[in-house]
Amino acid sequence: MVELGGKIECPICDWDWELESDDDRPHLCHKCGYDSEIKDFDEEALSQWEKENQVPFQEQKEERYIVRTFSESTDDMELVWHRDREDRIVKSLGDTNWMIQMDNELPRPLTEMIYIPKNSYHRVIKGTGDLKVRINKLL
């Protein structure tokens, strides 16, 4: 068992965080949703955690896509590397100088449509102004 203040590392996405209270679930990664107790992704628990905690974006969900908005006031430290659990296409909904970086590739401007394969590491890099992106799930 991890003590308060102890470091926890996700075995799937390698994101780490500190255990801040007894109410935290040290076995649930707050970024990718992997639950090390059940050895699977816990979508429901992750969704509940996101409702209770601040995430660096707001989402509007439609049937086949998500519109995700990052505020200009987003903390750079919140824009961590992560992996999606399905293939996606990301496209900015407006002019922006925010960027996206895939694995070890050079950052690319979000002015073009970008394909993100399932489980590939990527991160958003902050620019000026708000960023609004449309994320299509590939079915």
pLDDT tens, position by position, 54-92: 678 787 887 788 899 999 999 888 888 887 778 899 999
Confidence label for 37 from pLDDT (cuts 50, 70 and 90)? confident
What mean pLDDT value characterizes the chain?
Answer: 81
The structural domains of the chain, ordered by start, are: 7-52 (no CATH), 58-137 (2.60.120.10)
% of the chain with per-residue pLDDT over 70:
76
Q: Which letter, b or e, does each residue of 10-19 get, where b requires 16 or more Cβ atoms within 10 Å of its Cβ?
A: bebbebeeeb
pLDDT higher than 90, residue 3: no
CA distance 54 to 58: 9
**Can you tell me the distance from the alpha carbon of 7 to that of 93, in angstroms, rounded to the nearest whole number?**
37
Does the reported pTM lie above 0.85? no
3-class secondary structure, 118: coil
Q: What is the pLDDT of residues 41-50, one digit of tens each?
A: 777 766 666 6
